[in-house]
Amino acid sequence: MENCCSNLKEIKIENNDHCPSCRNKAKNVKLITLKSLLKPSALVTLNAKENHYFCSNEDCEIVYFDANNKKYLVSDIKVAVHQKDDSPTTPICYCFDWTKEKFNQYVENGLTLNPVEHIRENIKENRCDCEVNNPQGSCCLGNVTTYIRKMSSGT
């Protein structure tokens, strides 16, 4: 299986379509992501021959949709979706369990383990598997740095 984090410089976010509900630009995701994260009741409706997309709009219930506008909602996903769930226990980094709560503790208390360094070290050791763990199907580092910046600025 190809490692999505093997070369961070080559990761590109590809906007190929728009969400049929919110019209947000959506990112193409690989089939392996949906196979890994859809609940069995939704997985049986998956058309593996279609292109699939991830909607990151926090106000939209759609997580995935395909080229024929078949929709998969938040309720169809096995894990909480960072972009759509502001619970403190929701992961931002799915591979290494960095939840919003843990990031908040780091920012507020200056814990010794720097989350970005921790994640990068694990990526370097080829331990991440974002394609099957992260609902967006790609590396979380952009989400991580954005979240930490937001927490640090208090917004």
Average pLDDT over the chain, rounded to whole?
Answer: 87
Structure confidence at residue 154 as a pLDDT band (50, 70, 90): low
Q: Which pLDDT score, from 0 to 100, does residue 46 have?
A: 97
Domain range annotation of the chain:
13-76, 82-153
Residue 62 · residue 71 · CB < 8 Å? yes
CATH, range 13-76: 2.20.25.270
Q: Per-residue pLDDT averaged across 56-65, rounded?
A: 97
Between 64 and 150, residue with greater pLDDT: 64
CATH code for the part of the protein at 82-153:
1.10.10
Residue 151 neighbours by CB under 8 Å, 6+ apart:
103, 104, 107
Q: DSSP labels for 27-95?
A: EEE-HHHHHHHB-HHHHTT--TTS-EEE---TT-SEEEEETT--EEEGGGBSS--GGG---TT-EEETT
Q: What is the per-residue pLDDT across 14-48, written as a single tens digit (0 to 9) for each?
A: 445 899 999 999 999 999 999 999 999 999 999 99
Joined together, the tokens standing for residue 17 give: 């379509």
Least confident of 40-44, 109-113, 115-119: 109-113
List the structure tokens of 30. Answer: 């690989």
pLDDT at residue number 106: 80
Q: Give the model's pLDDT for residue 150.
A: 82
Q: Which two tokens stand for residue 148?
A: 């930490």
Structure tokens belonging to residue 36: 């890994």
